[in-house]
Amino acid sequence: MRKNWLTAVICVVIAVTFFVAGFFTRNVFDALSPKYEIIFSQNVSRENIINFNKVKSLLLNSYYEEIDEDVLLEGAIKGMVEAVGDPYTVYYTPDMMKSFMEQQTGSYVGIGVTVFMDDDGLATVADIFDNSPAKAAGMRNGDKIVMVNGEDVTEITDLNLIVQKIKGLPDTEVVLMVYRPEINNYVELSMVRKVINIQYIESRMINDDIGYIQLKLFDEDIAQDFVNHVNKLIAAGAKGLILDLRNNPGGDYSQVVRMADFIVPEGLIVYTEDRNGNRQEEKSGSGELNMPLVVLINEYSASASEILSAAIKEYGKGTLIGKTTFGKGLVQTIIPLEGNAGLKFTTARYFTPSGVSIHGVGVTPDIEVSNDEKYRYYSIDEIPEGEDKQLLRAIDEVSRLISEKEHNK
């Protein structure tokens, strides 16, 4: 599945530079010198600059109600960001920035789901956490959120804004209307928000020889957690590993590099290139994981999941099983702004060790396996283990690799 993101709003301001903490706008053809100003580059047309100031002046002075100038300027900032036409470039209001940072720490107040924008620009549930309000209310993978507390959100192109509307204070109610494709109908779900403490990594022994690690997101401490889980499984007798990256949307770039460093041999892990062709390489040291490894992927495995999967595949350190991944090969940078706002924007493309860009293409599995259609909208944890064809194939492959390794001793 490829996600074609919708864009909105045309902004006439092409380039701006903000000085100090406050904002003030003047007509650049004025001789006045205010304390704060917006400065336009010489490449901006004179007409756009005049129109910018004229529209601002008309709204401030002639609109039928009084308007807060800061509200207009924040709208101009949002317009600039939306005019880029990149779904991964987003202006975060203070509340949105707070929400984003909470997601990186593994704790927030909400309903306990991860979501993505589908081909039609609808917020779609990718995964549902155990013991969450969403699971208790009967939410399903694939549910498409169309209303939040009676507000239509189908025209909102910024996924983070929809997420912000769903979150709130603990013990408060939120009512979602979702479209459920499997029944071709709408379902209303009422939930009480609570603090969600997310376990982004879980592990267990599948049998005497095989360890299993499910990684739901690359959060800020996940690399060391991964190493700890691997060592725990080895101590329990694991001779081979299954790493489950299905439904993992990505996360912290530095963490996936550290994880890859633990798995692959010395060499290039990934590199990025910016608009000027500047290249930044991430390399692994001399250590590597020396045991049979299978990585499970699907169409919801994205970004950091694809970096790790591609490196493992290209170095021959494991077998990829499942479906072709999402195909997100862009790097975003988060810049804090004044007043606790922030800007997330795309700064580079990333490439696999062999120089392949997976953006819009994805990483293909070595062995393609699909689960039954009836489980299409299930979370990974909801699929009965005996009916998870991708996992069963992974167990067979790891068992074969373990036997092969022991035979070659």
Q: How do the pLDDT tens digits run along the chain, 409 residues long?
A: 434 333 332 232 222 222 222 222 333 333 333 445 677 788 889 999 999 999 999 999 999 999 999 999 999 999 999 999 888 898 988 888 887 776 666 567 899 998 888 778 899 998 888 889 999 999 998 899 999 999 999 988 778 789 889 988 899 999 999 999 989 999 999 999 999 887 889 999 999 999 999 999 898 889 999 999 999 999 999 999 999 999 898 888 999 999 999 999 999 999 999 999 999 999 999 999 999 999 999 998 999 999 999 999 999 999 999 999 999 999 889 999 999 999 999 999 999 999 999 999 999 999 999 999 888 777 788 888 899 999 999 999 999 999 998 888 7
Q: What are the start and end residues of each CATH 3.90.226.10 domain in the chain?
A: 201-407
Within 161-290, strands assigned E span 173-180, 185-192, 194-197, 201-205, 210-215, 240-244, 267-273, 279-284
pLDDT of residue 104: 61
Q: Which two tokens stand for residue 50?
A: 């005049």
Match 């029944």 to its residue by tokens.
183
Helices 159-166 & 94-105 angle (0-180, nearest 10):
80
Sign of CA dihedral 125, 388, 204, 317: negative
User: How far out from the chain centre does Cα 83 lie?
Assistant: 21
Residue type (1 letter), 326:
F
Residue ranges of alpha helices (H) inside 27-68 are 46-62
Residue ranges of alpha helices (H) inside 273-322 are 304-314
pLDDT of residue 197: 80
- Other beta carbons within 10 angstroms of residue 277's beta carbon come to 6
pLDDT of residue 243: 99
Which of the listed CATH numbers 2.60.40.1250, 2.40.10.10, 2.30.42.10, 2.20.25.10 matches domain 107-197?
A: 2.30.42.10
pTM for this prediction: 0.77
CB of 295 within 8 A of CB of 312?
yes
pLDDT of residue 157: 76
Among all residues, which ones are annotated catalytic? 303, 314, 328
As a whole number of angstroms, the longest Cα–Cα distance in the chain is 85
* CATH level 2 (architecture), domain 201-407: Alpha-Beta Complex (3.90)
Q: Which helix (H) or strand (E) covers residue 18, if one does?
A: strand 16-18
CA dihedral 183, 196, 168, 143 (to 10 degrees): -10
pLDDT of residue 145: 97
CB of 71 within 8 A of CB of 42?
no
Q: Which long-range contacts (CB under 8 A, 24 or more apart) does 31-37 make?
A: none
What is the rounded CA–CA span in Å between residue 282 and residue 271? Answer: 6
